[in-house]
Amino acid sequence: MSVITTATRGRTAADAEPMTSRPKPKRRVRRERHPVAGWLFVSPFVVVFVAFLLAPLGYALYLSLYTKGLATGTTFAGFKNYTRAFSDPSFRKGVWFVVRFSLVLIPVQMAVSLAAALVLDTLVTRFARLSRLIIFLPYAIPAVIGALMWGFLYSPTFGPLQQILSVFNTQAPFLLSQGNVLYGLLNVVTWQWAGYYMIILYAALKGIDPSIYEAARMDGANSWQVAFRVKVPMIASAFVLILVFALIGTLQFFTEPQILGPIANGTITPDFTPNIYAYNLAFSYAQFNYASAISFSLGIVVFIAVYIFLFATRKRGNIFT
Amino acid sequence: MTAIHAARTQPANKPRRERHVLAYLFLIALMFYFLIPVWWLVVASTKDAHGLFSGSGGALWFDKDFNLVQNIRELFTYNHGEYLRWFENSILYAFSGGIGATVISVLAGYGFAKYKFRGRNLLFALLLGSIMVPLTALVIPTFVLMSHLRMTDTIWAVILPSLLSPFGVYLMRVYTSVAVPDELLDAARVDGASEARVFFQVALPLLRPAIVTVLLLSIVGTWNNYFLPLTMLSSSKLYPLTVGIGLWEQLASSNNGGGQSLWNLIIIGSLVSIIPLIIAFLTLQRHWQSGLAVGSLK
């Protein structure tokens, strides 16, 4: 595994400078002899990419530039849908919620998964293997089911939280009420994804050459220092990767609030997150043009957020270059 | 692995042992947290509607009536066995979408890693950018496009968009460039093997761990997907499990189950629906655990 790590690192450097810097002429000859073969291998992906990414993206942009009225028909609206979206209190509220949600969720999630990965990395017992699997287990469970299960557990009428607390004669907080819903959802999402992130970090930790730890020990580092000064910096790129995934995932938050909606007594409104808002605009109000503008605006928000994030962390190890 | 372990734990001093106790306590707490909802699901699926809401054992323990078998029977017969149909649909979508996405990713990853062709760098840059595009932002425009082609509310509306997996291609490219040496491919070519043969007989066997990982990830992605099928499908005959159970939940919370409480069906249905993937992850764990390491490298 460590061989692969070093090989990949070496390759990344070479990759940044495209093939021109490669000194082996033999390879150049081979590559030029099959100009078509490369395209043939890539072509199925290109077809899918064009059909289900570029085309919808382009079409969303097109739709979002028009408005459709009952009397007026379809008319060109320019950026009106976008100015409307960014001044729409529903959209702004939704964006504000998902941004706030990611700012709370991501540190919690990362702390749990990093702590679990570091602990599991130091233990090589059967018990550790078992707990690794169990922590990962929720990843195999659909978000719909995860949200439903927690919804039941939160239930004030028959959930265990209420049953435990009623022994002490106190009322359990309803985690889906107006004031608590952020924490209620935070718990569901952390439960669902922390194990997946843990596995990725764990795999990265296993890729580190253990002789580095020995060297650090020789220099007098204790276990905490080895963990936070050696291990964490060495898995920085894996960390950035999962942070990007977490950010993209939470900004397009949909399934969990959608599922918890019916049992949350009206806390989760049709404009709770931008994605729920776009869905309701499209399918409850048939406003496909405006819904496309909302989707596209959300895409822009996510793209900007990810770029800010990658820019802020670029010194620690860049993944997408 | 054992050598590493021995080397790491050899300086066994006292604070180290205490730390191990702490580590185990931490793991036990985590296991408890991650298992509780699943435990609740197992317990609740043995209860009938009455036991669920006012049973004798509380929410986290069994009721005195054990109704698992009745619940399962009811689950598969309710409303002309629509659950079974949803289950079959989920399998169809997950396997066709997952296998399709994997084949495409393996081919493209190999093409990107091992060939130089015009437009390669531009295409790969586009691909990396697309990993950052929130895929749900594409669902509504895809729906409108598909409805022009009269393809919404068909199985294709769910399967075809699931074939898109830029991250799978990225993983396969990284893995291929590490696991398949150029020299090996060149040697096969010198022996007169065609490009297709080089790929199938030399490269493909070396890519197995990554293939299993990408396959598993895309099957899970499709099996667990909710937003896409919810948007694309309107007839409940075509629903996958996630959308079907979501429908039941809506009916149950607005009390439209036709006088029947649907909650125990939702619970047993949830339990049955998570079993296949859990089995898949347990049986294939060696493969995906080594394959996932690929994504974290680079």
Q: CA-CA-CA-CA torsion for A14, A18, A20, A25, nearest 10 degrees?
A: 70
Q: What is the residue range of B181's domain?
A: 80-296
Which residues of chain B are within 8 Å of residue A44 when distances are taken between CB atoms?
Answer: 103-104, 107-108
In a domain, B8, yes or no: no
* Contact residues on chain A for B195, CB-CB shorter than 8 A: 34, 37
Q: Per the CB < 8 Å rule, is A144 touching B297?
A: no
Closest chain A C-alpha to B268 CA, distance in angstroms: 11
- Residue B153 resides in a domain: yes
pLDDT digits (tens, 9 = 90+) for B258-267: 556 788 889 9
The beta-carbon neighbor of A38 closest among B33, B115, B134 is B115
Closest A-chain CA to B38: A149
Interface check A201 vs B, CB under 8 A = yes
Q: Is residue B64, in this structure, part of any structural domain at all? A: no
Interface pTM (ipTM) of the complex?
0.85
Domain membership flag for residue B66: no
Q: Which residues in chain A have their CB less than 8 angstroms from residue B108's CB? A: 41-42, 44-45
**Where along chain A do its domains lie?**
22-64, 80-316
Report the residue of chain A nearest B108, measured CA to CA.
Answer: A42
A71–chain B Cβ distance below 8 A for any pair:
no
Task: Measure CB to CB from residue B115 to each of A31, A144, A237 and give the nearest one.
Answer: A31
B297 in contact with chain A, both atoms CB, cutoff 8 A = yes
Is B246 part of a structural domain of the chain? Answer: yes
The separation between CA A203 and the C-alpha centre of its own chain, rounded to angstroms, equals 18
- What is the signed CA dihedral for B129, B135, B141, B144, rounded to 10 degrees? 140
Q: Does A263 touch chain B (CB under 8 A)?
A: yes
**What is the CATH classification number for the domain harbouring B206?**
1.10.3720.10
Q: How many domains does chain B have?
A: 1
Does the beta carbon of B32 lie under 8 angstroms from any beta carbon of chain A?
no
Rg over alpha carbons for chain A, rounded to the nearest Å, is 25
Spatial distance between the Cα atoms of A92 and A155, rounded to a whole number of angstroms: 30
Average per-residue pLDDT for chain A: 81
Q: Give the separation between CA A246 and CA A248, rounded to whole angstroms.
A: 6
pLDDT band at B257 (very low <50, low <70, confident <90, very high): low
B116 — contact with chain A (CB < 8 Å)?
yes
Q: Which residues of B touch A252 (CB under 8 A)?
A: 134-137
The whole-angstrom distance between A78's CA and the closest CA on chain B is 18
Q: How far is CA B44 from CA B37, B54, B176, B258, in A?
A: 10, 12, 46, 22
Taking the C-alpha atoms of residue B120 and residue B274, their distance in angstroms, rounded to an integer, is 40
Q: Does the beta carbon of B292 lie under 8 angstroms from any beta carbon of chain A?
A: yes
Does residue B290 sit within a domain?
A: yes
pLDDT per residue of chain A (321 residues) written in tens, 0 to 9 = 333 333 333 334 334 444 444 444 444 444 445 678 889 999 999 999 999 999 988 888 888 888 877 677 778 878 888 888 889 999 999 999 999 999 999 999 999 999 999 999 888 888 888 898 899 999 999 999 999 999 888 887 767 777 766 667 666 677 777 778 888 899 999 999 999 899 888 888 888 888 888 888 888 888 888 888 888 888 888 888 888 888 888 888 899 999 988 887 778 888 899 999 999 998 888 888 888 888 888 888 888 888 888 887 765 544 444
Is residue B251 in a domain? yes
Q: Do B178 and A320 touch (CB under 8 A)?
A: no
Contact call for residues B172 and B108 (beta carbons, < 8 A): yes
Taking only the tens place, the pLDDT of each residue in B122-173 is: 998 888 888 877 777 788 889 989 999 999 999 999 999 999 999 899 889 9
Query: Would an 8 Å CB–CB cutoff place B136 in contact with chain A?
Result: yes
pLDDT band of residue B19 (cuts 50, 70, 90) is low
**Closest CB to B178 among A7, A115, A244:** A7
Q: Could you say which of B26, B116, B273 has the minimum Cβ distance to residue A38?
A: B116
Q: Is A75 exposed, middle or buried (0-12, 13-18, 19+ CB in 10 A)?
A: exposed
Contact across the interface for B137 and A204, Cβ inside 8 Å: no
Look up residue B54 and give its two tokens.
């006012």
Report pLDDT for B294: 60
Q: Is residue B276 situated within a structural domain?
A: yes
| CATH number of the structural domain A80-316 | 1.10.3720.10
What is d(CA B235, CA B223) in angstroms, rounded to the nearest whole number? 18
Return the pLDDT at B6. Answer: 44
